[in-house]
């Protein structure tokens, strides 16, 4: 049986280092905000002949605009909306000229600067919604398990999100609407894996072996659920990795955020949440013993 709990100082040191590196990157260079947060330019174009999305993106790549959002509309797909970073009038003319030269005659129906899709108010509401979700998790886990399980799980979630944001900052991945979706996905995925381990821990507590320490019991719960955790995480990561490699520029940053977060979620469920619960529970037992001797 693997002694996960006995090496908790190593796991906490690794997490502390990752958090520190991420925080330094976040405060020094911030996040690489995409057009969903910063706003940009909207081009409404009509082509004489319906172009392919790949052909349009090829032209955009020549201008360093590979992460622009492309939407085709109309019955024949001749109308194209391109949402990209803010462009000057000169840059717009050059871009539409290149599109016309390579893809055929093009008419500019509309060209305007647009506001961020994700504004301050929406960001504030998202934070409030996340806080409500966390409170709901604490209440649910406390009622089903106990408060110590709830707090250990929530601290593991904060660990996952904090390191993910820090690494996204460090890697300069673009932060847009898909990033918000990825973070919310990570929250749900991470707490699910943690609950599985805590459920086994609770079962073992009910039938605790005589003289068995809490550390040994916690190790048993993690080892007994380890195979399930590996299978679940590996199959999910294979899918996310395929999207990351083959999914194209527009969703690569989303896939990268998911890959980091899901990996951290699996890690924290074993190496962070369980040791946190153990340390708190051991402290409680020592206090009870001290009170009994007094």
pLDDT by 10-residue block (mean), the chain, 294 residues? 88 95 92 79 86 86 83 77 85 88 86 71 75 86 89 92 93 84 84 89 86 88 90 90 82 90 92 93 81 72
Between β-strands 32-33 and 106-114, what pairing exists: parallel, antiparallel or unpaired? unpaired
CA gyration radius for the chain? 25
Q: What is the DSSP letter of 50?
A: P
Q: Three-class SS of residue 115?
A: coil
Query: Can you tell me the distance from the alpha carbon of 255 to that of 258, in angstroms, rounded to the nearest whole number?
Result: 5
- Identify the pLDDT of residue 214: 87
**Structural domains of the chain, with CATH:** 5-34+119-288 (1.20.1640.10), 40-114 (3.30.70.3400)
Kind plus residue range of the DSSP H or E element containing 110: strand 106-114
Query: Can you tell me the distance from the alpha carbon of 268 to that of 185, in angstroms, rounded to the nearest whole number?
Result: 15
CB 169 within 8 A of CB 22: yes
Query: The pTM is what?
Result: 0.80
CB 65 within 8 A of CB 35: no
- Identify the pLDDT of residue 15: 95
**Which of 227, 158, 138, 187 lies closest to 15 in space, CA to CA?**
158
- Identify the pLDDT of residue 251: 83
Give 47's strand partners: 106
Q: Write out 221-277 in H/E/C secondary structure.
A: HHHHHHHHHHHHHHHHHHHHHHHHHHCCHHHHHHHHHHHHHHHHHHHHHHHHHHHHH
Structure tokens given for 29: 């260079």
Residue 108, phi-psi category: left (phi > 0), alpha (psi -120 to 50), beta (remainder): beta
């Amino acid at each position: 049986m693997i002694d996960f709990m006995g090496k908790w100082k190593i796991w906490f040191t690794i997490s502390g280092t990752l958090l520190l590196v991420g925080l330094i990157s976040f405060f020094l260079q911030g996040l690489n905000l995409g057009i969903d947060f910063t706003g940009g330019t909207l081009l409404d174009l009509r082509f004489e002949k319906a172009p392919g999305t790949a052909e349009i993106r090829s032209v955009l790549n020549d201008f360093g605009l590979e992460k622009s959002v492309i939407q085709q509309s109309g019955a024949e797909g001749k109308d194209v909306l391109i949402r990209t970073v803010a462009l000057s009038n000169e840059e717009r003319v050059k871009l539409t000229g290149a599109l016309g030269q390579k893809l055929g005659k093009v008419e500019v129906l509309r060209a305007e600067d647009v506001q961020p899709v994700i504004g301050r108010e929406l960001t504030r509401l998202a934070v409030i919604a996340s806080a409500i979700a966390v409170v709901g998790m604490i209440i649910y886990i406390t009622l089903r398990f106990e408060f110590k399980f709830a707090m250990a799980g929530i601290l593991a979630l904060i660990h996952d999100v904090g390191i993910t944001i820090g690494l996204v900052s460090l890697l300069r991945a673009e932060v847009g609407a898909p990033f918000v979706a990825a973070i919310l996905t990570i929250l749900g995925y991470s707490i699910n894996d943690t609950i599985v381990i805590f459920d086994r821990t609770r079962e073992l507590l009910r039938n605790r072996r005589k003289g068995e320490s809490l550390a040994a019991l916690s190790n048993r719960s993690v080892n007994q659920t380890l195979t399930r955790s590996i299978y679940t995480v590996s199959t999910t990561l294979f899918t996310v990795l395929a999207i990351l490699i083959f999914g194209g520029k527009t969703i690569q940053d989303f896939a990268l955020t998911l890959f980091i977060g899901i990996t951290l979620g699996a890690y924290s469920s074993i190496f962070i949440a369980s040791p946190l619960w153990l340390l708190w529970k051991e402290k409680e037992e020592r206090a009870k013993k001290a009170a009994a001797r007094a």
